[in-house]
Chain A
Amino acid sequence: AQTVTQSQPEMSVQEAETVTLSCTYDTSENNYYLFWYKQPPSRQMILVIRQEAYKQQNATENRFSVNFQKAAKSFSLKISDSQLGDTAMYFCAFMKPVLTGGGNKLTFGTGTQLKVEL
């Protein structure tokens, strides 16, 4: 079974600064996907960024980028130029894809509450 660990329950960052959220995972699979989801106070989960394990290049989406270290089973999220609207709970998630019998279900970490301050 896969596990996802987020060791930072809470973090804060000043507006316009950069922050990095950590995530480690444990799996014996070679082919999988990793995600960061954002859950603002309104509670609807929103996908931030996705990484395919077979791709060495780190994914980027505007101000969001990841540092994917497959051998170390580490998947951190960097938020650049932090904005007040980035305040949310951030969840790291693992997915074993359909083609390898995974069913595409997500396994989530416990989350990191990020607060962006003025």
Chain B
Amino acid sequence: DTGVSQDPRHKITKRGQNVTFRCDPISEHNRLYWYRQTLGQGPEFLTYFQNEAQLEKSRLLSDRFSAERPKGSFSTLEIQRTEQGDSAMYLCASSLVERNEQFFGPGTRLTVL
């Protein structure tokens, strides 16, 4: 399968714990995006990378959130000191710079108890 993959698919954690999600984009895609989707809402942009450079971060991305794409391939999104309000589906997407179509992964569903 050469699509976007995300791991884990589901994560349940207790409030205050740290969690890390991984996204593997389509191999030749140089852009990678993170979105957050809460129940009944459309996805909201969090941040994006072009190769290894993080080019934009949303105001939704508080100081507890950090994302990396160290070698320009896979990316990680870490949430420190999780809060119940962080419960959501975290979606990753990738694209080529010269193309406007984003391909989405299956998402990681986070539940903070």
Contacts and interface: CB of A to CB of B under 8 A. Distances in A.
Chains A and B come from one and the same complex = yes
Contacts, number: 57
B100 A105 contact: no
Interface residues of B, number: 25
A45 B101 CA distance: 12
Given A97-B100, A110-B42, A105 B33 contact: yes
Contacts of B100: 33, 50, 95, 97, 104
B95 A104 contact: yes
Nearest to A109: B42
Which residue of B42, B56, B100 has the most chain A CB atoms within 10 A of its CB atom? B42
Interface of B: 31, 33, 35, 40-45, 48, 55-56, 89, 91, 93, 95, 97, 100-107
Interface of A: 4, 33, 37, 42-47, 50, 91, 93, 95, 97-98, 103-111
A37 B89 CA distance: 16
A69 B58 CA distance: 29
Nearest to A108: B42
